Amino acid sequence: MSPGRALVDDTDRALIRALRADGRLSVRALAEQVHISRANAYARLERLLEAGVITGFSAQVAPEHLGLGTSAYVSVSIEQNTWKPVAAALRRVPAVERVALVGAEFDALVTVRCRDNHELRDTVLEQIQAIPGVKATRTWLIFEETDVRDLAQEDA
């Protein structure tokens, strides 16, 4: 199976949905939830991992419980042909959680998590804007976030 061309069926999608809701499910619990045998669940899970459909497992954390009370989206405009070095430099900024190349009036959207507004200011003005190739930034404070997967579980 070539990268980007992995075929998934409804059962695979059900496995993925179940794992996204609870990545700690055992293969046995996963099989029971999706109504397939353990052997089938194990084989499908291995195939999805090998094909790169499932790229890993992680813990979701509440930033405020880590002392990160201020979150923001920072749009970043960059000089032409500087995406790779700018993206690499953004990933090295400790407060940066996520970097996305986008097609918009700016070039990248960065999620930043900081202890407070003071640290956010320093992150944007002294770290992100100091990266060679960054032309401009714009910052949006995040007042509240909701994971849509949490909403789907509440509706179930």
Distance CA(125)–CA(52), nearest Å, equals 37
pLDDT of res. 2: 47
pLDDT at 50 over 50: yes
CATH number at residue 41: 1.10.10.10
pTM score above 0.75: no
Average model confidence (pLDDT) across the chain? 90
pLDDT tens-digit series, residues 56-81: 988 878 888 888 899 999 999 999 99
Q: In the block, which residue shows the tokens 């407070």?
A: 116
Residues 74 and 136 in one domain: yes
Domain boundary among 59, 76, 109: 59
Residues 45 and 94 in one domain: no
Distance CA(119)–CA(124), nearest Å, equals 9
Cα dihedral 37, 41, 47, 53 sign: positive
pLDDT tens-digit series, residues 136-152: 999 999 999 887 765 55
Q: Where are the alpha helices (DSSP H) in the chain?
A: 10-21, 27-34, 38-50, 83-91, 117-122, 148-155
Q: Find the domain containing 112 and state its range.
A: 63-142
